[in-house]
Amino acid sequence: MKSLSKANLPQFLEALNQSSQVYVPVVVDGTSRFIPWEQGAELVLDKNSNIPPKYLFFPQTEDLYGYKIYKQSGERTELPSAMEPFVVFGIRPCDVYSLEVLDDIFLTKGYEDVHYKQKREQGLLISLGCLEPEATCFCESWGLNPLNAPTADIMMLDGGDQFLLKAQTEAGQKVIDSQAGLLEEFQGEPPVGKPCTLTVETKGLMERLQPMFEHAVWDEISRKCINCGTCTYLCPTCYCFDVLNKTRGEEGIKYRCYDSCMYPEYTLMAGGHNPRPTKKERVRQRFLHKFQYIPERYEGQIGCVGCGRCIVKCPVNLDISRVITRLWEVEADV
């Protein structure tokens, strides 16, 4: 394990930025999110970002391909790829794990999303462990470790006046080696973190929900939801999107943008039928998708990482941890 003096952190990031675009958590207009590193940037490293770094791999709006139209015929044109190596510095273990969820969704079951795959191949993750999880964090309930992200390229811990770094992949080791002049060997004991104070029962939740599709509890849970979609846009594992066109004359671009199962238009069909006509069906879909459908399709994978963002930002306090607790309280076959 290596140590990096916090006084040398700007020099460390600037050195990385010479060969790869470095993204760091910074407050922009009152909201913390990952943006390109610049000298003098004030990093937010004492808590998780408000907006997850998911958008670096799955952007909110993304061009897919171009096309040309000639009367009754057309031609698809590939857009030039501008993918360059990049580093995500300070990504939390829960967000690292959320990328594993998206890997299953975008890269398995017989189809690979080339746009997502390119970004995953170019992105290097330097994860920062959480020594004191926030009151709304419950990643440990899903079996995650707030101090460790095994699939990150480098794992980092806050050691007071220094950061402790451990390479976990070959790419991570290359970064460590390239910054040897700024790093020292760490001889002491790494810091011990505090556990999550928020916990929920998750073992067997998928099986618990399987007979509950028609349960009356969904009327109760959905009552105060306003279908604003805040939870889905801030969730690091939500991936719903719409595909749209931008056409000028004979040429155009096909692009995708985030969508949400909370919106009535999301499932509205061309003939006017909507299989989720009320907010009850839409709220039920959100929770069943995360806790039942994803684990069923991806062999026990989970659709929630316990980051707590939806708890913090929901305008009507529809707390996902309380929803889980309520689902355990009711009779499953009612």
| Lowest model confidence (mean pLDDT) among 20-29, 69-78, 213-222, 281-290 | 69-78
Q: How many other β-carbons are positioned within 10 Å of the β-carbon of residue 30? A: 6
How confident is the model at residue 334, as a pLDDT?
Answer: 58
Q: How many other β-carbons are positioned within 10 Å of the β-carbon of residue 148? A: 17
Q: Mean of the pLDDT values across residues 213-226?
A: 96
| Run of H or E including 326 | helix 320-329
Q: Which amino acid is at 300?
A: G
Who has greater pLDDT, 46 or 83?
Answer: 46
pTM to 2 decimals? 0.93
Residue 56 DSSP one-character state: G
Among the listed residues 92, 77, 99, 178, the one whose alpha carbon sits nearest the alpha carbon of residue 130: 92
Q: Which amino acid is at 291?
A: F
Q: Mean of the pLDDT values across residues 308-326?
A: 97
Q: Which residues pair with 24 in a beta bridge?
A: 35
CA–CA gap between residue 102 and residue 114 (Å, rounded): 13
Average confidence score pLDDT of the chain: 95
Residue 333 scores a pLDDT above 80: no
